[in-house]
Every structure is written in structure tokens, then in C-alpha cells.
Amino acid sequence: MLDIKLIRESRETVEAGLKTRRSEVKLDEVLALDERRRAIITEVDRLRARRNEVSREIGALKKAGEDTGAIQQETREIGERISALDAELREAGEAQRRLLLAIPNLPQEGVPEGADSTANVVVRSWGEPREFAFEPKDHVALGEALGLFDFERAARLAGSGFPLLTGAGARLERALIQFMLDLHTTQHGYVEVAPPHLVSSAAMTGTGQLPKLADDMYHLSTDDLWLIPTAEVPVTNIYREEIIRRPLPIRLVAHTPCFRREAGAAGKDTRGLIRVHQFNKVELVQFVEPEASRAAHEELTGHAEAVLQALGLPYRVLLLCSGDMSFAAAKCYDLELWAPGYGGWLEVSSCSNFEAFQARRANIRWKNREGRNEFVHTLNGSGVALPRLVVALLENGQQEDGSVILPEALRPYLGGLERLTPPA
RNA sequence: GGAGAGAUGGCGGAGUGGCUGAACGCGCCGGUCUUGAAAACCGGAUCCCGCUCGCGCGGGACGGGGGUUCGAAUCCCUCUCUCUCCGCCA
């Protein structure tokens, strides 16, 4: 949510920023409501001041045993006018909040302008894509031969898009989760948390998934709860409606399943593990002082990169353009792994700085150095998402005989296993 | 799922219609004292909104919402959450 004061005072700047987000700018309406609201507040405050004054007088008169009939009539009338104005005020406030909740965050300076992913900028690459002496297979062919997953039977359980990992495949995923959690907690200073996988609408609104993305998520109508599309939601909302009274930054890491309806999914990405309705992810979340958020964003991105480096997987870092960023982000880096069988880059992480956008929605504040309450800045990034990490791991590590060599860093988590081979 | 109890400032905990933004204690900040610290003593401090260039002025908030009343932390309704006991259960 943007600060209404910013919209009021720097309308042109806000409009210019929103234009690059392909957002339908509705500032006229918001500002009209804001003006209306403030006018009512001024009037209501004036009436209340008068009523307080008269009420005090009534108290004094009654104590003196005098008649207060006429004067009581005045306050009764004031009370009625206050009730009427209060109703109007509430309506205007709700309407304004609805509009504000639908306005995306402003891009940070330095974010390239652009309408879609073609305007994203590659800021760096790491690792060399491997040269193959044979035609590399894709992860589905490799994994099925190795008995790592079973898509056909999986479809019996919940339809397509809900993967069933089997044997070494299931264990590989568990090993990766453990490896990543250990890396972030021991090397990067994160505290591990295990949050709920279902959250309320209030939590979804706090991080910005609602109202806009309702159709992309699974909703349990009986209990009015949502399955989380990312651990960002429960973890960021841990401090909702709170003034944080411990030193910042707070760094949290969580492993959770993620559920996404991905209504528009189509094409080759529906094959295998590339795009699924349920997947596991390790997520990094930070609450930081406003002045520290830019540095923290670079650092957090580095924490996600460290996973890929430790596994020896070639990747590139994209700076997303204004039109390709998610609703709540002010700046975002995507990490993409090279997948030789797939023949393209796979997004395994989005590292975003939300500045005060989520904090303002969720009312997450801290006491700054002047002792004043101030919204924190929130950040998060995948560290990293699993299915595509598995895809890249298999496709990059594959040998001509169909076996897969495992990165050394992972072997301790697999009982020393060096290579995946077909089950006996 | 059933029965009961409760929700007040950073924490504990008073307060049952006006003088209570809130006693008291702890914790916190500043000062006196001290070589320094502790103790003791003195003082300070909630949050949100509106108006104002500012000094400041006004309004609101005792879990959320609604009501009664001239006036509500206090009375009524409702929702949410917490705790205790019972039932069920991985």
C-alpha cells in the first residue's frame, strides 16, 4: 500500500511511477475520497469538542442540583449529527482503502522501465553451461528412468500438476531442503521457522496477494482459509499489527509447500516438474530498517545465489523491469538456472525488496533511533524453489548412460551417495 | 464439539457511568549522588488522526464492531482470540 500522504503531496511522481507498472491509475478517486474524509474528520472533531464541553457542564449543573433539560437537548442533537457523519466517514475510509489496496508498489529508481519480461536485464551470470558430447535428456526422461517420480499415478491423486516423488527422488528433495536450511541458518544468519500452511484473508492482504491474486490461490470456503502460495505470506505476517521491539534485521528462513492454481499455465512448461500446483520451497524473509533495505536486498540475493554456487549449477541474475515485477515489489532480482535438457533458463528464485509496501498493509512497525514508530522494510527471496532445482540438477549432472552425478555438497545429506542410478 | 473464565500501557495488575489516558509494581529513559557502577532519591515517557509554516490546538483509542446514555474502560449485543475442564483425535 502506498502512503496516502505521498499520493497527496507528490501526485505527479506517483502517477509517473505507476504508469511504468501498467497500472490503471485511479488517483483522482482516491484523492477525492481523501479530501472528503478529512473534511468530515475536521467537522466531527469540532462537534465532539462542543459535546464534551457541554457534557462537562451538565455534570457540574447536576451536581449543583439544577435543571439540564434544555442543554441536554443540544448534545442529543450533536450526537445525532456525529453518528451520521461517522457513518459517512467509515464509508469513505473503506472505499479509499479498497482503492489503495489495489494500487501496486512504485518501482525503485534504477529499475528498468518496460512492459514485460523482454525488458528485463541480465546483471550477471555464474558458471559455464556444460558442453555435452551427447544429446542431453530432459528431466522427465531422466527421472522416470531413475524412478524418481511417477507422473501417471500422481494424476490419480489430485489430477495433473501434483507431483508424486518416489524413492531417491523423494529423498533427493528432502536432502536439498535440509542442505538449504542448514546453509542459511549456519552461514547467513537466518532463524528457522515452521509456519502454518493455511492463512487468513487478513494475512493474504498484508503481503499483497489479496485482493488481486484471489483466483490464483486455493481457498477453503468452509473455514475461509487460503493455502499459502509461498512461505512469504505466513512468515512476513508473523509481525503483523506489531511494533517490533527487538533489534533489526530479523532474518527468518522457512521450508513450506506452496500451492498455486496457475490458471494460465500452458505449453511445454506443463511437462514434468517445471510448473506444478504444489511444490516445496525454502524461503528467506527479512525485516530491516528502512535505510538498510537496499543493501539487505543485495545481500539476500547473494544468499540465494550461494545455494546455486554450492551446488555448482550455472545461473544468471535478472533485474526485472517495472512491468514484470510482482504487485508488491519495488525492486526484484530473478535467479534462473540453466537446464540443458529443457533447453532454457528456469526461474528458481525471486528476491524482492518491498520497502514499506507490505509493512504499511500489515501494519508492521519498529521504534526507530528517534524513538518514533516507523514502518519497517520487508524483503524476501526463494532460497530456493525445489522442483526446478531438481530439474537443473538432473539435467546438468546427467551422464551418457542416464545416471546423474550429484554435487559434492549434497552427498552428506544422501548418506554419501555420489550418483543416481536406476533402481535394481 | 460441550461447559466455564477472561482480553486494560513494554510486562504484571487496579479500576464498575463524569474529576481515569488510566492507581500501584516491574521494566525503560534522563538527572542527583559516585573515580565508575549499583543502591537510594528526583523527574520523564502510550498510540492514532485532523488543523497549523511552526509554537501549539482539537479529536479518538482500555481485543474488533455495534448499541444504551447528555456522557462508557465501566451497562447491553455481537465477533475474534486466549485460558481451564470434559469429549474426540495424529
Which is more confident, A310 or A72?
A310
Residues A36 and A174 in one domain: no
A196 touches strand B (CB under 7 A): no
pLDDT over threshold 70, residue A211: yes
Task: Using the 3D structure, point to which of A101, A133, A165 is the last residue of a domain.
Answer: A101
pLDDT over threshold 60, residue A264: no
The DSSP-derived string for A128-186 is PPPP-SS-PPPHHHHHHHHT-B-HHHHHHHHSTT---B-THHHHHHHHHHHHHHHHHHH
Task: Using the 3D structure, point to which of A101, A136, A163 is the last residue of a domain.
Answer: A101
Instruction: List, in sequence order, the alpha helices (H) in A268-331.
Output: 293-310
Residues A151 and A272 in one domain: yes
Arithmetic mean of pLDDT, A153-180: 94
Residues 6+ positions from A98 with CB-CB distance below 8 Å: none
User: For residue A268, what pLDDT band results from cuts at 50, 70 and 90?
Assistant: low
**Residue A108, in any domain of the structure:** no
**pLDDT at A54 (0 to 100):** 83
CA–CA separation, A380 and A362 (whole Å): 15
User: For residue A294, what pLDDT band results from cuts at 50, 70 and 90?
Assistant: very high
Task: Using the 3D structure, point to which of A72, A101, A130 is the last residue of a domain.
Answer: A101
Per the structure, how many domains does chain A have?
2
**Residue A148, in any domain of the structure:** yes
Q: What is the CA radius of gyration of chain A?
A: 27
**Residue A323, in any domain of the structure:** yes
Strand nucleotide closest to residue A76 (CA to C1'): B70
Q: How far is CA A414 from the centre of its chain?
A: 31
pLDDT over threshold 60, residue A222: yes
pLDDT over threshold 80, residue A270: no
Residue with cell 538498510: A292
β-bridge mates for residue A281, sequence order: A256, A385
Nearest residue, CA→C1' of B70: A72
Tell me the one-letter amino acid at A242: E
CA of A90 to C1' of B64 (A): 15
CA of A246 to C1' of B65 (A): 32
CA–CA separation, A110 and A245 (whole Å): 32
- The residues of A assigned a catalytic role are 260, 275, 347, 350, 388
Arithmetic mean of pLDDT, A265-279: 80
Residues A24 and A148 in one domain: no
**Whole-number mean pLDDT of chain A?**
91
Arithmetic mean of pLDDT, A271-298: 94
CA–CA separation, A347 and A320 (whole Å): 12
CATH label of the domain that carries residue A56: 1.10.287.40
**pLDDT at A319 (0 to 100):** 98
Q: Give the ipTM.
A: 0.86
Residues A96 and A128 in one domain: no
Residues A207 and A309 in one domain: yes
**Residue A84, in any domain of the structure:** yes
Strand nucleotide closest to residue A80 (CA to C1'): B70
Residues A54 and A201 in one domain: no
- Are the C-beta atoms of A320 and A122 separated by less than 8 Å? no
A130 touches strand B (CB under 7 A): no
β-bridge mates for residue A367, sequence order: A373
Q: H or E segment at A88?
A: helix A69-101
Arithmetic mean of pLDDT, A218-243: 90
A41 touches strand B (CB under 7 A): yes
Over residues A184-209, the pLDDT tens digits come to 999 999 999 999 999 988 899 999 99
Q: What angle do CA A147, A152, A154 make, to 5 degrees?
A: 85
Question: Nearest-CA neighbor of A258 among A381, A136, A354, A386?
Answer: A386
Residues 6+ positions from A318 with CB-CB distance below 8 Å: A120, A121, A122, A123, A333, A334, A335, A336
Domain that holds residue A186: 117-420
A226-245 residues near strand B (Cβ < 7 Å): 243, 245
Helix (H, G, I), strand (E, B) or coil at A346: strand
Over residues A61-115, the pLDDT tens digits come to 776 667 667 777 778 888 888 888 888 888 888 888 889 999 999 999 999 999 9
- Are the C-beta atoms of A289 and A368 separated by less than 8 Å? yes
pLDDT over threshold 90, residue A252: yes
CA of A48 to C1' of B65 (A): 21
CA of A58 to C1' of B16 (A): 22
Q: H or E segment at A208?
A: none
CA–CA separation, A246 and A261 (whole Å): 37
CA of A219 to C1' of B18 (A): 50
Q: How far is CA A29 from the centre of its chain?
A: 27
pLDDT over threshold 70, residue A182: yes
- Percent of chain A, pLDDT > 90? 69
A52 touches strand B (CB under 7 A): yes
pLDDT over threshold 90, residue A131: yes
Over residues A151-163, the pLDDT tens digits come to 999 999 988 899 9
**pLDDT at A78 (0 to 100):** 84
**pLDDT at A265 (0 to 100):** 54
A49 touches strand B (CB under 7 A): yes
**Residue A330, in any domain of the structure:** yes
Instruction: List, in sequence order, the alpha helices (H) in A284-352.
Output: 293-310
Instruction: Give, as ranges, the nucleotides of chain B with any atom within 7 Å of a protein CB.
Output: 10, 18, 47-51, 58-60, 66-67, 69-71
CA–CA separation, A345 and A334 (whole Å): 11
- Rounding to the nearest 10 degrees, give the CA dihedral for residues A91, A93, A95, A99: 180
Residues A175 and A297 in one domain: yes
CATH label of the domain that carries residue A270: 3.30.930.10
**Residue A109, in any domain of the structure:** no
Residues A242 and A380 in one domain: yes
Residues A37 and A142 in one domain: no
Q: What is the DSSP letter of A280?
A: E
Residues A185 and A334 in one domain: yes
A59 touches strand B (CB under 7 A): yes
A199 touches strand B (CB under 7 A): no
**Residue A106, in any domain of the structure:** no
CA of A370 to C1' of B34 (A): 30
Range ranked top by mean pLDDT from A132-136, A155-159, A214-218: A132-136
Q: H or E segment at A367?
A: strand A364-367
Which is more confident, A82 or A320?
A320
CA–CA separation, A319 and A331 (whole Å): 8
**pLDDT at A382 (0 to 100):** 96
A81 touches strand B (CB under 7 A): no
Residues A95 and A123 in one domain: no
**pLDDT at A183 (0 to 100):** 98
**Residue A264, in any domain of the structure:** yes
Residues A304 and A383 in one domain: yes
